Amino acid sequence: MKTLYVVRHGQTYFNVQHRIQGWCDSPLTDKWIKQAKQAHEILKDVNFDTLVCSTSERCCDTMEYIAPNQPYQRSKDLRERWYGEVEGEVYIGAGQQDIYGDTLTSKVGGESAQDVKTRVSYYLQQVCHDRDSQVILAVSSGVSIAYFLETCHMDPSLEAIKETGVGNCCILKLTWGHDMFTLVEIMNQNL
């Protein structure tokens, strides 16, 4: 059985401004330092064999704070969903379905939910198939993580994460066995 820790990047200015942040990037806020310190404290005694991260600057900065001086692999497969023409725009409406559903991206370009789910899940499966990777840390973005979780088995008591979403610097602990991810713990959710 392998262990995978998945962490969402720290808070960015686009998060605060309620802007659509897919492949575009925005700087991390001062609050992310507090979030990253807490995530670092939780994970500091874990001995990671493999560290992987989105190519987004917000994810790389978060990784480097949580696991300082440790080498990591960057992958475009862990990037956030691409939102086409509305990258950087202010959210239209109150519900997440307004920006996260496939209706919007079919009109303005971008990736489908299934495309994101497939690329993130496939990449993390490949990392787990590496025999040298027993304990893995992955840093990615909220929507990509949410779609990845749809492919995972989880205890009903943890299903609320699908409704609440993954908070900034939230840590998800999963196991990998029998070609299946299982969410076993949610840490640091309310930063």
| Annotated binding-site residue? 15 | yes
| 96 annotated as a binding-site residue | no
Which one is predicted more confidently, 164 or 171?
171
In this structure, are residues 124 and 157 in contact, taking their beta carbons and an 8 Å threshold? no
HSE, side-chain direction, 13 A CA sphere, residue 182: 11
* Residue 109, pLDDT above cutoff 60: yes
**85 given a catalytic annotation:** no
Coil/strand/helix, residue 148: helix
Task: Quickly state the pLDDT bin for 99 (edges 50, 70, 90).
Answer: low
117: phi then psi, degrees, rounded to nearest 5: -55, -45
What is residue 121's three-state secondary structure? helix
Q: What percent of the chain has pLDDT over 70?
A: 90
Kind of pairing, strands 171-177 and 2-8?
Answer: antiparallel
Q: What's the residue count for the chain?
A: 191
What average pLDDT does the segment 106-120 reach? 87
What value does the mean pLDDT of the chain take? Answer: 89
Whose tokens are 């005694």? That residue is 45
Taking the C-alpha atoms of residue 111 and residue 121, their distance in angstroms, rounded to an integer, is 15
**Reported confidence tier of residue 136, pLDDT bands at 50, 70, 90:** very high
Instruction: Please report the domains of the chain, with CATH numbers, ordered by start residue.
Output: 2-187 (3.40.50.1240)
Q: Is residue 3 annotated as involved in ligand binding?
A: no
9 counts as catalytic:
yes
Q: Does the annotation place 8 within a ligand binding site?
A: yes
Catalytically annotated residue among 40, 64, 80, 163: 80
The model's pLDDT over 80-95, given as tens digits with 9 standing for 90+, comes to: 998 888 888 887 554 4
